Amino acid sequence: NAGVMQNPRHLVRRRGQEARLRCSPVKGHSHVYWYRQLPEEGLKFMVYLQKENIIDESGMPKERFSAEFPKEGPSILRIQQVVRGDSAAYFCASSPPGKVGQSYGYTFGSGTRLTVV
């Protein structure tokens, strides 16, 4: 069973360029979450998606950041016009659909380390 696959593992972008981070969830998982971890800091929730829907984007910066999880293909986190402060590790996690009242573990990917120069 393949886990959550994130690519690329490392991404270097110049200021002002666009960054696209991809996440393929565990097969059968329909829920995807994106987290950001700044250097020497904790994990911060960004966005929660189900197939073709954004469920919760309360942690996403209002500008330059967007996320999608299309019916076919991986989830994409897109950062436009990157700045040095966007340099961080971005982690994706997936979970299966569940019933209210249940709880289940998330599977995280190995992350994409974005460096803005």
Partner 1 sequence: DAKTTQPNSMESNEEEPVHLPCNHSTISGTDYIHWYRQLPSQGPEYVIHGLTSNVNNRMASLAIAEDRKSSTLILHRATLRDAAVYYCILRDGDAGNMLTFGGGTRLMVKP
Residues that bind partner 1 (CB under 8 A): 4, 31, 33, 35, 42-45, 48, 55-56, 91, 93, 95, 98, 100-111
> Residue 60: helix, strand or coil by DSSP?
coil
Cβ closest to partner 1, residue 10 vs residue 78: 10
Tokens read off for 48: 């929660």
Least distance from C-beta 88 to partner 1, angstroms?
13
Question: Cβ atoms within 10 A of the Cβ of 55, count?
Answer: 12
CA distance 53 to 99: 18
Least distance from C-beta 35 to partner 1, angstroms?
8
Least distance from C-beta 14 to partner 1, angstroms?
24
